[in-house]
């Protein structure tokens, strides 16, 4: 902390001792009035520059008053503007040429995220044509997905619960629809998507692997408009427009599943018949209102609601009675944010945030036998209420500081149950309360025009029950540009995670429960360092990058396979999980990107290992994590023929993930029992597929922009494994020579997709 205070005093003294000029303001989209983050602000004479923050604010301190400042942003026409004495309002106009594809932010300072334009995300061919931000990030190095169709991200050997996913500064605890086939984030409602997978800045905390920071659109404050999307899997509608022209606007975006209509096609149950019914539906609703109180003050209100409902019903009906058994799995999120930003001075920007997040996961089981009706209902929930204050300070041209405090109160309600089963009784929810308070300081220091540092620290106090944990988290990253277009980077970080996720995949799409770290099951802790080298080849327009990372984790948890947490109400989860585990992962990430010309795209490859070790599992020996993948190759490309037609393609190859395979089987009382030796002792078959899509842009009635996308998912019909089934077989005639057979089950053969959107 003394180092941080020294930096602050040094910056202030430098500010007083030098007569300098500070240029500040905000940058907007000319057509919609939305604030633009990540805009490059540069003075060509002095070579000094900076970037706008998430709220479009910039502050640039120079030795003398500049003649013209250059403002540039991907997909917009650059502008040269002479600053005055007042804060600047800059309006950038969209470029008429094709948008440049950007993979990493153009900042020269370390600690920058992987940024993907929403337009690129929406053009990628994916399952049934449903654009998805999580799927798009899986095409970057060090990031992979789980099974076929899964949208969960595994970043540098971590698990999905080790990723902090923020939607307008609010954590989203389950980001999956349809059991993980795609995420809950509707691309039509998003403005930006950033992923920090290594040295994420000190203003983020509470997770071990990554931070995904998503920002919703603010809405057009100049004119009313919208977008209608029609697809095979879901339909969407987005409306936006001004409330007070040029000052206040709104956006509302909704999405519903087409699969929910399948229940209308279910045949009626007739006597002397039997069958099974599947019902699945979901919805998303995003809403945001913002109001520019003055040139320096802005207020935002954001809301998200999403819910999934799945039900499987098996029934038989005779003239006498009807017998049925139904299993259901429901889950959903509610989030809300109130944000207030104020430009306190040309060098000081502030924001205050109030957040609310609520996630529930429900499991239902109902059995009817004539007049008898038995049911069981289980529910787990986590609710967060909190606030955050952050100051962005630009004391001198070579120093940017972000300092703040955030506080969150967690309320856990795991394993509550209501049932009329006999002798089962109704279980009352066990509520666990926890509080988390953090202070942080995050600084970007430009030591020279070629050398930059990101130095930060975070200190957290976490209390639950009678236990309290106090942990410092130092962060350090550096970037050195040398020779022509070469750059060397490095980072070292410490992270802590105060939540544990228990997942039970035995029912429906999965029943999960978030639980707090306790005195018996302490927080997980990770230490990670990385080093990278990148080169820009100007003439062919190709960027090359190479990065090595290593991560060690302590206090991990695991639990026996097949544990049924919905029936664990009488026992403490702390008595069942295995704690004190250690994890280690390392990898080499490579990527080549082409950002210009008609043919654009990238190829990424990751060579990695990730392992676990528990004293009570696998005889205390290291074993692979479930989604440990030695090889992970991703390629995506787009070719633009003209203003109307473009071709898009993606290819994925991944080593099969680890599974625990039986080594034998025995017959006991007429039942087959499998014999296992070692955790994750086998591998699923390798995963690979090719997707191709074509996009046609046009006009409807010479007024409305349209986009028709169609193509093929899994072009060469690869039977990628979804899960394995184990069976014991013997010779049909004699019943002798029993053998153990492993059968692979697959989904998603070659599938056509089509989507149509209209902007009005």
Compute the distance between CA of residue 324 and CA of residue 337 in angstroms, rounded to an integer: 43
The residue with tokens 């000190």 is 202
Q: Are both 554 and 517 inside the same structural domain?
A: yes
510: containing domain: 114-703+715-759
Of 37, 60, 92, the position where a domain reaches its end is 92
pLDDT exceeds cutoff 90 at 43: no
Can you tell me the mean pLDDT for 96-102? Answer: 47
Residue 308 placed within a domain: yes
Can you tell me the mean pLDDT for 28-36? Answer: 90
Residue 709 placed within a domain: no
Pick the closest to residue 435 from 207, 161, 206, 213 (CA basis): 206
Q: Are both 138 and 20 inside the same structural domain?
A: no
Residue 680 placed within a domain: yes
Q: For residue 160, give Cα distances in angstroms to 126, 134, 208, 506, 514.
A: 20, 11, 10, 18, 12
Q: Are both 478 and 344 inside the same structural domain?
A: yes
Tokens of 747: 């989904």
Q: Determine the 3-state secondary structure of 616 from DSSP.
A: coil
Please confirm whether the linkage preceding 423 is cis (ω < 30° from 0).
Answer: yes
Tokens of 742: 């492993």
pLDDT at 109: 47
Residue 34 placed within a domain: yes
Q: Are strands 542-558 and 578-594 parallel, antiparallel or unpaired?
A: antiparallel
Work out the mean pLDDT of the chain and round it to a whole number.
84
Residue 46 placed within a domain: yes
Q: Are both 9 and 151 inside the same structural domain?
A: no
Centre a 10 Å sphere on the Cβ of residue 567 and count the other Cβ atoms it contains.
16
pLDDT at 474: 95
The number of angstroms, rounded, from the C-alpha of 723 to the middle of its chain's C-alpha atoms is 24
Q: For residue 69, give Cα distances in angstroms to 45, 58, 78, 606.
A: 9, 12, 10, 40
CB 63 within 8 A of CB 46: yes
Q: Are both 312 and 409 inside the same structural domain?
A: yes
pLDDT in tens, 241-300: 999 999 999 999 999 987 665 555 566 777 777 777 778 888 999 999 999 999 899 999
Pick the closest to residue 514 from 498, 496, 525 (CA basis): 498
Tokens of 308: 């999934």
Q: pLDDT higher for 30 or 746?
A: 30
Residue 215 placed within a domain: yes
pLDDT exceeds cutoff 80 at 644: yes
Residue 595 placed within a domain: yes
Kindly state the helix (H) or strand (E) to which residue 612 belongs, with its residue range. Answer: strand 599-613
The number of angstroms, rounded, from the C-alpha of 265 to the middle of its chain's C-alpha atoms is 35
pLDDT in tens, 536-582: 888 888 899 999 999 999 999 887 655 555 544 445 677 778 888 99
pLDDT at 61: 87
Residue 97 placed within a domain: no
Secondary structure of 403-420 as H, E, C letters:
EEEEEEEEEEEEEEEEEC
The number of angstroms, rounded, from the C-alpha of 119 to the middle of its chain's C-alpha atoms is 17
Q: Are both 64 and 140 inside the same structural domain?
A: no
pLDDT at 736: 62
Centre a 10 Å sphere on the Cβ of residue 693 and count the other Cβ atoms it contains.
23
Domains in the chain: how many in total? 2
pLDDT at 88: 87
Tokens of 583: 């994890």
pLDDT exceeds cutoff 60 at 12: no
Tokens of 92: 């950038």
pLDDT exceeds cutoff 50 at 17: no
Q: pLDDT higher for 76 or 44?
A: 76
Please tell me which of 258-267, 696-705, 730-739 the model is most confident about, judged by mean pLDDT.
Answer: 696-705
pLDDT band, very low/low/confident/very high, at 439 (cuts 50, 70, 90): very high
pLDDT at 570: 45
Compute the distance between CA of residue 155 and CA of residue 528 in angstroms, rounded to an integer: 13
The pTM is what?
0.87
Check which CATH number belongs to the domain holding 71 and give it: 2.60.40.1120
Percent of the chain with pLDDT over 70: 86
**640, burial (CB in 10 Å: exposed 0-12, middle 13-18, buried 19+):** middle
Of 92, 125, 142, the position where a domain reaches its end is 92
Compute the distance between CA of residue 286 and CA of residue 255 in angstroms, rounded to an integer: 9
Q: Are both 34 and 153 inside the same structural domain?
A: no
- DSSP class of residue 188 equals G
pLDDT band, very low/low/confident/very high, at 530 (cuts 50, 70, 90): very high
Residue/partner pairs of 478-485 with CB below 8 Å, 24 or more apart: 478/110, 478/451, 478/452, 478/453, 478/454, 479/108, 479/109, 479/110, 479/451, 479/452, 479/453, 480/450, 480/451, 480/452, 481/108, 481/450, 481/451, 482/450, 485/535, 485/536, 485/537, 485/538
Q: Are both 749 and 620 inside the same structural domain?
A: yes
pLDDT in tens, 320-358: 788 888 888 888 999 999 999 999 999 999 999 999 999
Buried/exposed 647-678: b ≥16 CB within 10 Å, e otherwise: bbbbbbbbbebbbbbbeebeeeeeeeeeeeee
pLDDT exceeds cutoff 80 at 319: no
pLDDT at 262: 58
Q: Are both 64 and 169 inside the same structural domain?
A: no
Q: Are both 614 and 514 inside the same structural domain?
A: yes
**Range from 173-177, 348-352, 398-402, 458-462 carrying the lowest mean pLDDT:** 173-177
Compute the distance between CA of residue 445 and CA of residue 479 in angstroms, rounded to an integer: 10
Can you tell me the mean pLDDT for 178-190? Answer: 81
Secondary structure of 292-352 as H, E, C letters:
ECCCCEEEEEEEEEEEEEEEEEEEEECCCCEEEEEEEEEEEEEEEEEEEEEEEECCEEEEE
Compute the distance between CA of residue 164 and CA of residue 408 in angstroms, rounded to an integer: 14
Tokens of 649: 């393609």
pLDDT in tens, 299-315: 999 999 999 888 888 87
pLDDT band, very low/low/confident/very high, at 180 (cuts 50, 70, 90): low
Q: Are both 130 and 76 inside the same structural domain?
A: no
Pick the closest to residue 412 from 468, 354, 359 (CA basis): 359
Check which CATH number belongs to the domain holding 164 and give it: 2.40.170.20
Can you tell me the mean pLDDT for 198-209? Answer: 89
pLDDT at 716: 93
Vertex 110 angle, CA 9 and 474, to 5°: 60
CB 18 within 8 A of CB 394: no
Q: Are both 72 and 119 inside the same structural domain?
A: no
């Amino acid at each position: 902390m003394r180092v941080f205070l020294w930096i602050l005093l040094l910056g202030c003294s430098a500010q007083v001792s030098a007569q300098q000029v500070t240029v500040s303001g905000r940058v907007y989209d000319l057509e919609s009035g939305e604030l633009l983050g990540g805009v490059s602000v540069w003075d060509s004479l002095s070579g000094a520059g900076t970037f706008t923050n998430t709220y479009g604010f910039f502050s640039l301190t120079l030795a003398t008053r500049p003649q013209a400042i250059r403002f540039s942003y991907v997909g917009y026409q650059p502008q040269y503007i002479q600053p005055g004495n007042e804060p600047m309002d800059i309006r950038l106009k969209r470029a008429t040429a094709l948008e440049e594809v950007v993979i990493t932010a153009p900042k020269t300072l370390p600690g920058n995220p992987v940024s993907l334009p929403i337009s690129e995300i929406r053009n990628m061919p994916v399952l049934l044509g449903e654009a998805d931000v999580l799927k798009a990030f899986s095409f970057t190095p060090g990031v992979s997905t789980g099974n076929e169709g899964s949208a969960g991200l595994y970043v540098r050997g971590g698990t999905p619960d080790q990723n902090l996913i923020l939607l307008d500064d609010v954590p989203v605890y389950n980001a999956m629809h349809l059991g993980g086939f795609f995420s809950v984030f509707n691309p039509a409602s998003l403005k930006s998507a950033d992923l920090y997978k290594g040295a994420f800045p000190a203003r983020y905390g509470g997770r071990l692997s990554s931070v995904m920071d998503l920002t919703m659109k603010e809405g057009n404050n100049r004119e009313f408009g919208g977008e209608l999307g029609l697809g095979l899997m879901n339909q969407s509608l987005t409306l936006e427009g001004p409330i007070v022209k040029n000052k206040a606007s709104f956006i509302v975006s909704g999405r519903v599943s087409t699969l929910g209509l399948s229940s209308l096609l279910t045949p009626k149950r007739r006597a002397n018949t039997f069958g099974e019914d599947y019902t699945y539906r979901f919805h998303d609703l995003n809403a945001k209102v913002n109001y520019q109180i003055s040139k320096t003050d802005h207020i935002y209100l954001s809301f998200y609601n999403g819910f999934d409902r799945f039900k499987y019903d098996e029934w038989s009906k005779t003239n006498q009675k009807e017998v049925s058994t139904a299993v259901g799995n429901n889950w959903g999120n509610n989030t809300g944010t109130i944000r207030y930003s104020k430009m306190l001075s040309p060098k000081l920007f502030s924001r205050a945030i109030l957040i609310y997040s609520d996630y529930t996961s429900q499991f239902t089981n109902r059995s009817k036998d004539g007049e008898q009706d038995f049911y069981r209902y289980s529910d787990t929930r986590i609710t967060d209420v909190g606030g955050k204050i952050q100051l962005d300070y630009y004391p001198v041209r070579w120093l940017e500081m972000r300092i703040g405090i955030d506080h969150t109160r967690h309320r856990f309600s795991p394993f509550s149950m209501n049932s009329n089963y006999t002798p089962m009784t109704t279980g009352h929810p066990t509520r666990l309360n926890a509080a988390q308070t953090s202070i942080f300081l995050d600084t970007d220091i430009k030591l020279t025009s070629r050398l930059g540092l990101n130095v930060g620290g975070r200190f957290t106090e976490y209390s639950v029950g009678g236990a309290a944990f106090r942990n410092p988290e130092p962060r350090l990253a550096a970037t050195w540009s040398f020779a022509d277009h070469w750059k060397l980077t490095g980072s070292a970080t410490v992270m802590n995670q105060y939540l544990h996720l228990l997942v039970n995949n035995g029912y429906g799409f999965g029943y999960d429960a978030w639980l707090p770290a306790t005195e018996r099951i302490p927080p997980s802790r990770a230490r990670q360092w990385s080093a990278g080298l990148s080169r820009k080849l100007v003439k062919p327009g190709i960027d090359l990058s190479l990065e090595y990372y290593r991560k060690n984790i302590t206090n991990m948890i695991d639990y026996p396979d097949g544990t049924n947490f919905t029936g664990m109400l009488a026992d403490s989860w702390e008595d069942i999980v295995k704690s004190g585990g250690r994890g280690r992962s390392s990898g080499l990430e490579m990527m080549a990107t082409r950002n210009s010309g008609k043919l654009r795209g990238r190829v990424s490859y990751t060579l990695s290992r990730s392992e676990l070790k528990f004293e009570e599992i696998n005889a205390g020996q290291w074993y692979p994590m479930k989604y440990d993948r030695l090889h992970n190759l991703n390629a995506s490309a787009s070719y633009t023929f003209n203003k109307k037609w473009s071709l898009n393609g993606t290819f994925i190859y991944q080593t099969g993930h680890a599974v625990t395979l039986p080594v034998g089987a025995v017959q006991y009382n007429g039942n087959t029992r499998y014999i296992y030796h070692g955790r994750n002792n086998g591998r699923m078959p390798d995963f690979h597929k090719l997707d191709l899509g074509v996009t046609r842009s046009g006009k409807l009635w010479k007024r409305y922009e349209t986009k028709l996308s169609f193509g093929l998912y899994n072009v060469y019909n690869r039977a990628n494994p979804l899960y394995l089934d184990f069976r014991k077989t013997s010779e049909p005639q004699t019943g002798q020579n029993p053998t153990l057979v492993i059968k692979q089950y697959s989904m998603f053969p070659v599938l056509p997709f089509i989507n149509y959107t209209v902007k009005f």
